[in-house]
Structure 1
Amino acid sequence: MPANQLGKLIVITGPSGVGKGTLVNFLLQRHPQLKLSISATTRQPRPGEVEGVNYFFLNKKDFETAILNQELLEWAEYAGNYYGTPKAGVIEEIKQGNYIILEIELAGARSVADLFPEALRIFILPPSIEELEQRIRNRGTNTEESIANRLEIAQKEIAARDEFDLQIVNDDLEQAIALLEAAIFPSS
Structure 2
Amino acid sequence: MDVLGGRLLAVVGPSFAGKSTFIRFLLDERDDFTAASLLTTRQPRPGEVGDETMGFVDEHQMDRLVETGWFVDTVGPARYALDLAGAQALSRRRHVLLGVAPPTLPKLCQRLPELKVVLLWPADFDQMQAELAASSERPEAERADRIARNEALRVAPPFAHLRLNVARVPLKQRRDMHRALADDLATQLRTLPWPLAGH
Q: Which runs of 5+ in 2 are unaligned?
A: 169-176, 193-199
Query: Partners in 2 of 1:97 and 1:66 — Cα distance?
Result: 25
Query: What is aligned with 1:97?
Result: 93
**TM score, norm. by length of structure 2:** 0.76
Residue 166 of structure 1 is matched in structure 2 by 162
Cα distance change, pair 146–50 in 1 and its aligned pair in 2 (3 A):
closer
Residues 24-54 of structure 1 deviation map (CA, whole Å, 9 limit, x = unaligned): 2222233112101131111122344333434
Q: Deviations over 1:110-155 (max 9, x none)?
A: 2222122222211111233432223434652212221111011112
Percent identity, aligned pairs only?
A: 19
**What does residue range 33-52 of structure 1 map to in structure 2 within 5 Å?**
33-52=32-51
* Residue 120 of structure 2 is aligned to residue 121 of structure 1: no
Residues in 2 aligned to 1:70 and 1:156: alpha-carbon distance in whole angstroms: 34
Once residues 101 and 150 of structure 1 are traced to their aligned partners in structure 2, the CA distance between those partners, rounded to angstroms, is: 22
2:131 and 2:64 map into 1 onto residues whose CA distance is 34
Q: Which range is displaced more, 78-87 or 132-141? A: 132-141
Superposition map of 1:13-162 within 5 A: 13-67=12-66, 69=67, 71-73=69-71, 75-94=72-91, 96-137=92-133, 139-162=135-158
1:102 is paired with a residue of what secondary structure?
strand
Letter of the 1:176 counterpart: L
Which whole-Å deviations, capped at 9, do the CAs of 1:54-94 have from their partners, x for residues lacking one?
42211123223423x26223x33223212221233212212
Native 8 Å contact 1:93 1:100 kept in 2: yes
User: Aligned residues, how many?
Assistant: 182
3-state DSSP of counterpart to 1:91? helix
Report the secondary structure of 1:46's partner residue. Answer: coil
Larger RCO, structure (CA 8 Å, separation 6 or more): 1
Shift in Å, 1:12: 0.7
Which amino acid in structure 1 is aligned with residue 69 of structure 2?
Answer: E
Distance in structure 2 (CA, Å) of the matches to 1:85 and 1:40: 7
Separation in 1 of the partners of 2:183 and 2:69?
34
Aligned-residue offset at 1:101: 0.8
Report SS of the residue matched to 1:163.
coil
Do the aligned residues in 2 keep the contact of 1:14 with 1:158 (CA within 8 Å)?
A: no
Paired with 2:18 and 2:159, the residues of 1 have a C-alpha distance of 20
The 1-side partners of 2:166 and 2:88 are apart by 29
Distance, in Å, in 2 between the alignment partners of 1:160 and 1:114 is 20
Does structure 2 retain, via aligned residues, the 8 Å contact 1:37–1:100? yes
Q: Pick the aligned partner of 1:178 from 158, 177, 183.
A: 183
